Structure 1
Amino acid sequence: MAFARRNEEEIITKETKIWECISEDCKGWIRDNFKSSEIPRCPLCQSEMEENVKVLQVVENHSKSSY
């Protein structure tokens, strides 16, 4: 029985602007390029969110509209 070696694609990461929930009881966050309004509300608890940065895998949002 032969085992094929998988072609592992390199995971590309970069500093990404995100929005984090300010509620201490919630761990919600969303990428800036996936937000639905200029200043988003938390999709989990509806609290306010603040801008921050995380190192994340690169994901493109092809349906993004300009704000």
Structure 2
Amino acid sequence: MAFGRRNQMEIPKPPDVEKNVLSCEGDDCNGWMREEFASEDELCPLCGGSMKKEIRTLPEIDKNNNFYGR
């Protein structure tokens, strides 16, 4: 008998897309954010350093509710 074992639904993964991101130029900082969520000042929220534009392959998310599929 297996108590507590429920049928697990598989949650669909969002497709990966190439997105523009802003990445921190600081040597000791790994901060980055999607360009669509960045503020106008384009400063790193972690260290306050300058940011540069890059392209990364990331999962697609919905900007309005931050959860894919709902």
2:68 — aligned with what?
none
CA distance in 2 between counterparts of 1:2 and 1:46 reads: 48
1:22 — aligned with what?
25
**Per-residue CA distance 1:24-59 (angstroms, 9 max, x = gap):** 11000011111111x510000111101111111111
Segments of structure 2 that go 5 or more residues without pairing to the other structure are 66-70
1:32 — aligned with what?
35
Q: What is the CA RMSD across the aligned residues, in angstroms? A: 1.9
Using the TM superposition, give the Cα deviation of residue 16 of structure 1 relative to its aligned residue in structure 2, in angstroms. 1.4
Corresponding residue pairs, total:
62
- Bigger Cα Rg: 2
After superposing on structure 2, the runs of 4+ consecutive aligned residues of structure 1 that deviate more than 3 Å are: none
TM-score, structure 2 as length reference: 0.74
TM-score, structure 1 as length reference: 0.77
2:45 — aligned with what?
43
Segments of structure 1 that go 5 or more residues without pairing to the other structure are none
Using the TM superposition, give the Cα deviation of residue 10 of structure 1 relative to its aligned residue in structure 2, in angstroms. 2.1
Q: 1:48 to 1:5 in 2, by over 3 A?
A: same
